[in-house]
A = this chain, B = another copy of it.
Amino acid sequence: MRVAIVGATGAVGQEFLRLLDERNFPITTLRLYASERSAGKKISYKGQEISLEVLPEDGNLDVDIAFSSAGGSISKADAWQWAEHGAVVIDNTSAWRMDERVPLVVPEINGEAALENNGIIANPNCSTIIALMALAPLHKEFGLKRAIVDTYQAVSGAGAAGFAELESQTKAALAGEAIEAKKFQHPIAFNLFSHDSEIDETGYNFEERKLLHESRKILAAPDLKISATCVRVPVYRAHTEAIHAEFERAVTVDEVHEVLASAEGIQIIDDRENNTFPMPLAASNQDDCFVGRIREDSSLAGGIALFVSGDQIRKGAALNAVQIGEYLIDQNYFKKLVVK
């Protein structure tokens, strides 16, 4: 496969490189696109030095698959052009997720939707993917009606600058120095704040609305009800979520264990005796999402409470996108294209 990474120098772009290498993605040519600032610099991939290029004016990336993570405005402007020139664009921005022409895909949940693409496949929002890794298998079995999702989100969701800000502010705070806020509006060191995305007239921020609307699209459940409170916490790279779920029928803890134990891409960490459950430090750099604290909701007979943690950059972004690419290859999607 001829593969491009658009936004190769970002936190997610760098993760794409690690994952393509680690998973031996079948690459014949790798093209790395970045901003003008980085053009000409080189990045090493499997022993080869690859020059960073600026995006071509005509939109011809000259690849079969483009993993795009260069920001919503670039995807918004250019992604259909890349697709017209023959690339299947797996887009990690929010630009096209809710567009009817674009499938929104988590391979373990609705991989088959990726096959019906029109040139762009959208990678869902990180906190949505991590919530659904636990909720989708339960939805399939029991019919999810309503979920409350309160998040503990890592700074990696704001890219490399988020990382840097947590580190520099924490150092300053420990030294008793003034904290400088650049990436985030509010201090993140030893603090937390309601997610820094735009709030609409309902009072929900964009991250919370994504959790609702993207979940409905991925699960093909237009009536699903979700209320989320999305919060940034001083953690580097894994998101954690407290979930309270209500299903079409009363569900037992044993049933949930049984379903989740055989679900792909998740591990149950639920050791009540040793008080050991999903934690972001343990979930960091892991491919699987962790699920635990599985208990009957004390406020709703037959409801279930859960606690999940997943690496925001891996399953929440780059890994899920690479898995979409792998799914297409496994399903002979590209060979069928050639035959057509």
A interface residues, Cβ below 8 angstroms from B: 146-148, 150, 152, 166-167, 170-171, 174, 185-187, 190-194, 196, 198-199, 202-205, 208, 212, 225-229, 231, 233-236, 240, 242, 244, 253, 272-277, 279-281, 292-300, 303, 305, 307
Contact = CB atoms under 8 A, between A and B. Distances in A.
A308 to B, nearest CB: 11
A221 to B, nearest CB: 13
B235 A242 contact: no
A307 B227 CA distance: 13
Q: Is the interface of A mostly helix, strand, loop or mixed?
A: mixed
A205 B198 CA distance: 35
B293 A229 contact: yes
Q: Please give the count of copies of this chain that the complex contains.
A: 2
A303 B294 CA distance: 25
Given A193-B279, A234-B235, A202 B296 contact: yes
Given A192-B235, A203-B296, A225-B298, 10 more contacts: A148-B150, A150-B229, A191-B280, A194-B292, A203-B272, A203-B294, A204-B295, A227-B300, A227-B305, A229-B242
A275 B196 contact: yes
Contacts of A240: 192, 231
Nearest to A225: B299
Contacts of A236: 190
Given A174-B170, A174-B171, A275-B199, A244 B192 contact: no
5 contacts: A148-B148, A185-B276, A190-B281, A203-B253, A229-B305
Given A170-B170, A202-B295, A253-B203, A300 B146 contact: yes
Contacts of A242: 150, 229, 231
A281 B148 contact: no
A299 B295 CA distance: 21
Contacts of A273: 199
Contacts of A274: 185
A147 B227 CA distance: 13
A229 B298 CA distance: 11
Given A234-B234, A275-B194, A203 B146 contact: no
Given A150-B150, A203-B253, A244 B227 contact: yes
A300 B225 CA distance: 8
A194 to B, nearest CB: 4
A190 B235 contact: yes
A294 B186 CA distance: 19
A191 B299 contact: no
A300 B147 CA distance: 10
A162 to B, nearest CB: 13
Nearest to A198: B275
B148 A298 contact: no
A304 to B, nearest CB: 10
Contacts of A212: 298
A166 B173 CA distance: 12
Contact of A229 (B191, B204, B280, B307): B307
Nearest to A229: B242
| Most chain B CB neighbours (cut-off 10 Å) among A186, A190, A240, A276 | A190
